[in-house]
């Protein structure tokens, strides 16, 4: 297994950062060490206002096979040996584990999950927490918690209904059914499917499209999308008007309008 500092790699190209789960020998199975490394990377990126998009992918042939089996077996052994008595400790331990990987939701810039291979259980939950998912045709995706005798975690029951609707979410969670990349795109789990070798290049191309747009405006869009499903229409209109008023004060809006008039590409500076 790689050292903890190497469990999540970061590579920057201009204003786009790619984070890669890096334990390919174990199909990037998720354990606490990887989660802590991931949360540390994300915290640093969240403070860097020059980052305009983040791509999340996996090294090797999988995005992530889900929770580390040894970790799951440890929780099961503790639960069985101390029924009831260990429940709160396990609950708190798993809750903090979720938080490490769901830190991706705290990134203020757009995020793209580049699903180069299989994404199962908690691994797929992390992909679902990103704004956009591009998936390999060959990938196998699913939330297999109930096949393991487990209740879903990592926000599966919150994210899935919002993406595919309550009835389909119920089917996928009750049956633990695994779907291919093309089906995932067809039912709304992924934005699009493609051959595996195309996933990361297409993710980079999409991230560059985002990066040339005004970053202040894109970060505001992310905040608006995050709150929209819980807001009334009138509340969302007020939020949009307030955020639009802020962007009218930026240098970027003047650049954008000038670029339209000059029929050239804008050069946004993020202020």
152 with 219, same domain?
no
The total number of structural domains in the chain stands at: 2
Find the distance separating the first CA and the last CA of the chain, reported in whole Å.
Answer: 42
State how far the Cα of 39 lies from the Cα of 118, in Å rounded to an integer: 22
Residue 271's CB is within 10 A of a number of other CB atoms, namely: 11
In terms of DSSP H, where are the helices of the chain?
Answer: 32-46, 69-81, 87-101, 122-128, 156-164, 166-175, 181-187, 196-211, 215-228, 233-247, 251-262
In-domain check, residue 249: yes
In-domain check, residue 53: yes
151 with 245, same domain?
no
State how far the Cα of 119 lies from the Cα of 204, in Å rounded to an integer: 20
What percentage of the chain carries pLDDT values higher than 70?
98
| Per-residue confidence (pLDDT) for residue 1, from 0 to 100 | 59
Round the average pLDDT of the chain to a whole number and report it: 92
* Mean pLDDT lowest among 18-27, 101-110, 112-121, 225-234: 225-234
Single out the residue of 4, 5, 7 nearest to residue 28, CA to CA.
Answer: 7
CB 207 within 8 A of CB 12: no
Domain span holding position 252 = 215-262
State how far the Cα of 93 lies from the Cα of 100, in Å rounded to an integer: 11
Query: Is residue 264 scored above 90 in pLDDT?
Result: no
Query: Is residue 3 scored above 80 in pLDDT?
Result: no
CB 68 within 8 A of CB 26: yes
18 with 33, same domain?
yes
Query: Is residue 5 scored above 80 in pLDDT?
Result: no
Six-digit token string for 186: 């067809």
| Per-residue confidence (pLDDT) for residue 162, from 0 to 100 | 93
248 with 227, same domain?
yes
What are the beta bridge partners of residue 12?
17
Mean pLDDT value of segment 130-140 = 97
196 with 255, same domain?
no
Q: Give the model confidence (pLDDT) of 92-125 as tens digits.
A: 988 999 999 999 999 999 999 999 999 999 999 9
100 with 172, same domain?
yes
Phi–psi pair at 21, nearest 5 degrees: -65, 130
CA dihedral 62, 194, 228, 165 (to 10 degrees): -80
69 with 165, same domain?
yes
| Per-residue confidence (pLDDT) for residue 266, from 0 to 100 | 86
Q: Give the model confidence (pLDDT) of 162-192 as tens digits.
A: 999 999 999 999 999 999 999 999 999 999 9
182 with 256, same domain?
no
């Amino acid at each position: 297994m790689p050292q903890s500092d190497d469990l999540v790699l970061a590579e920057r190209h201009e204003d786009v950062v790619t984070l890669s789960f890096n334990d390919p020998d174990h199909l990037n199975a998720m354990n606490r060490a990887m989660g802590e490394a991931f949360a540390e990377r994300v915290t640093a990126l969240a403070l860097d206002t020059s980052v305009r998009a983040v791509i999340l992918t996996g090294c090797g042939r999988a995005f992530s096979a889900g929770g580390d089996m040894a970790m799951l077996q440890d929780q099961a052994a503790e639960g069985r040996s101390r029924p009831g008595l260990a429940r709160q400790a396990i609950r708190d331990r798993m809750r903090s584990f979720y938080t490490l990987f769901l830190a991706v939701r705290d990134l203020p810039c757009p995020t793209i999950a580049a699903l180069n291979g299989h994404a199962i259980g908690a691994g797929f939950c992390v992909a679902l927490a990103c704004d956009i998912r591009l998936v390999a045709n060959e990938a196998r995706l699913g939330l297999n918690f109930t096949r393991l005798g487990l209740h879903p975690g990592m926000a599966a029951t919150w994210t899935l209904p919002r993406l595919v609707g309550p009835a389909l979410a119920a089917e996928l969670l009750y049956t633990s059914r695994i779907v291919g990349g093309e089906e995932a795109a067809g039912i709304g789990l992924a934005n699009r499917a493609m051959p595996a070798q195309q996933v990361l290049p297409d993710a980079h191309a999409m991230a560059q499209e985002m990066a040339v747009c005004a970053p202040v405006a894109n970060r505001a869009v992310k905040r608006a999308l995050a709150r929209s499903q819980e807001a009334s229409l009138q509340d969302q209109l007020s939020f949009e008007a307030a955020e639009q008023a802020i962007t009218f004060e930026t240098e970027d809006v003047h650049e954008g309008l000038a670029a339209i008039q000059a029929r050239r590409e804008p050069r946004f500076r993020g202020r």
